[in-house]
Amino acid sequence: MQDRQQEFAILAEEIKKLKEQRNAVILAHLYQRPEVQDVADFIGDSLALSQQAAQTDAEVIVFCGVHFMAESAAILSPDKTVLLPEEKAGCPMADMITAEELRAKKKEHPNAVVVCYVNSSAEVKAESDVCCTSANAVKVVQSLPEDAEILFVPDQNLGHWVGLQTGRRIIYWEGYCNTHHRLQGDDIRRAKAEHPEALVLVHPECQPEVVAMADGVFSTSGMIKYAKESPAREFILGTEMGILHQLGKECPGKEFYMASNKLICPNMKSTTLEKVKWALEELEPRITVPEEIRVKAIDSLDKMLAVK
Q: How much is the pTM?
A: 0.95
- Decide if 161 is inside a domain: yes
Instruction: Output the DSSP codes for the chain.
Output: -HHHHHHHHHHHHHHHHHHHHHTEEEEEETTS-HHHHHT-SEEE-HHHHHHHHHTS--SEEEEES-HHHHHHHHHH-TTSEEE-SSTT---TTGGG--HHHHHHHHHHSTT-EEEEESSS-HHHHHT-SEEE-TTTHHHHHHTS-TT--EEEESBHHHHHHHHHHH---EEEPSB--HHHHT--HHHHHHHHHH-TTPEEEE-TTS-HHHHHT-SEE--HHHHHHHHHH-S--EEEEES-TTHHHHHHHHSTT-EEEES-TT---TTGGG--HHHHHHHHHHT-SB----HHHHHHHHHHHHHHHT--
- Decide if 137 is inside a domain: yes
**Final residue of a structural domain among 152, 175, 198:** 175
- Residue 236, domain CATH: 3.40.50.10800
- Give pLDDT tens digits for 48-87: 999 999 999 999 999 999 999 999 999 999 999 999 999 9
pLDDT of residue 1: 66
- What domain count does the chain have? 3
Range of the domain at 279: 2-90+268-288
pLDDT of residue 261: 96
